[in-house]
Structure 1
Amino acid sequence: MRWPFRVAMSTAAVMLFDQAVFAGQFLAGTFGALPTHRANATYSGIAVLVAAAAGVLVRWPGRGPLWPALACLGLFGLIALQIVVGFARMLTVHVPLGVSIIGLAAALAVWSWRPTENAERRPAENAERPAESAERPAENAERPAESAGQPVESAGRAA
């Protein structure tokens, strides 16, 4: 159940990266980028909340970790703080906090795309696993010396 989280977190990470682009456009003299920066901040926060909800699906029913959902909630708190300091024009806090938010969002997006140990297996592969382990002890029981790493003497050779 990682696909909803992958899509939501990747979307949020791109939107948060766009925040730096819009801020840079504003600083370069494109004053129309400031309302876009402000609106995208709201939409980015919503995207992170959607990712948090998708993070719950990673845990239930996906049997994955809970920390991605909690990390998204923490990221949302940082975004809320970022909006407050942005409206207060506290750029000495706003800029480094924005860099941190983008880095955390990117790290979550990268994590979401990493392969998992068992979650990516197809159900047919999972069904074959127990049968394989059941067959191996039977094979090893027929050749106990060979399974222990010792050579087996041939019955046709004289000692």
Structure 2
Amino acid sequence: MTDVRERPGAGGAGSAGTTGARRAFAFFRGAATLLALAVLAQVGLAAGYLGGDYDSLERHGANAGIVVALALLTSVTTVLVRRTGGPLWPVPLSLVLVLALFGEMMLGMARVVAVHVALGTVLVSAVAVLVTWAWLGRETVS
């Protein structure tokens, strides 16, 4: 893999190909960051509920829809990154994440708490992988 700034045929700094790749990666970075913040809010709201703030459960449920919507937005941006020469692996990860987060929301609404908490832990890790790559990874092309 090479840096998008070095992509053959990109035409050098400021060319349309390089600019498009950078813009796509910036959109991905923003969406992944918002998703991570919403997921952290979910963890805090769940902790609040478990700590006795029973109103946190309603906010936890409302925020779940925001998390799924942001995961969908993040998936769209991973496709944009891929279409501008980025790696493939974020696309399936983000698509599976959308489906899993929707399932997570349904489990929570059905009060299947043991599976909801266990799956939630795994999903927080998956979001951490995406946001870590968004900030520490390089804008690469395969």
TM-score (norm 2): 0.77
| Equivalences for residues 8-27 of structure 1 within 5 A | 8-27=31-50
Could you tell me which runs of 5 or more consecutive residues in structure 2 were left unpaired when the two chains were aligned: 1-23
The AA in structure 1 aligned to 2:59 is: T
Measured on the aligned residues, the alpha-carbon RMSD in Å equals 1.5
Find the aligned partners of 1:18 and 1:118 in 2 and give their Cα distance.
30
Report the counterpart of residue 135 of structure 1 in structure 2.
Answer: none
Equivalenced residues, count: 118
Q: Any conservation in 1 of the 2:87–2:140 contact (CA below 8 Å)?
A: no
Distance 1:117 1:99, change over 3 A: closer
- CA radius of gyration, larger in: 1
Could you tell me which runs of 5 or more consecutive residues in structure 1 were left unpaired when the two chains were aligned: 120-159
- Deviation at residue 117 of structure 1 after TM alignment: 6.8
The AA in structure 2 aligned to 1:75 is: L
Report the counterpart of residue 79 of structure 1 in structure 2.
Answer: 101
- Deviation at residue 116 of structure 1 after TM alignment: 2.4
Does the residue aligned with 1:105 lie in a helix, a strand or coil? helix
Find the aligned partners of 1:92 and 1:85 in 2 and give their Cα distance.
9
The AA in structure 1 aligned to 2:132 is: V
Q: Share of identical aligned residues, percent? A: 32
Find the aligned partners of 2:80 and 2:105 in 1 and give their Cα distance.
28
Q: Any conservation in 2 of the 1:52–1:72 contact (CA below 8 Å)?
A: yes
Q: Any conservation in 2 of the 1:51–1:69 contact (CA below 8 Å)?
A: no
| Equivalences for residues 8-157 of structure 1 within 5 A | 8-60=31-83, 62-116=84-138
The AA in structure 1 aligned to 2:94 is: C
Cα displacement string for residues 51-88 of structure 1 (whole angstroms, at most 9, x for unaligned residues): 0111111011x211132122111001111111111112
Does the residue aligned with 1:16 lie in a helix, a strand or coil? helix
Cα displacement string for residues 119-145 of structure 1 (whole angstroms, at most 9, x for unaligned residues): 6xxxxxxxxxxxxxxxxxxxxxxxxxx
- Deviation at residue 96 of structure 1 after TM alignment: 1.0
Q: Which of the pair has the greater relative contact order for Cα pairs under 8 Å at 6+ separation? A: 2
TM-score (norm 1): 0.69
The AA in structure 2 aligned to 1:20 is: V
Structure 1 runs of 4+ aligned residues shifted over 3 Å read none
Distance 1:117 1:25, change over 3 A: closer
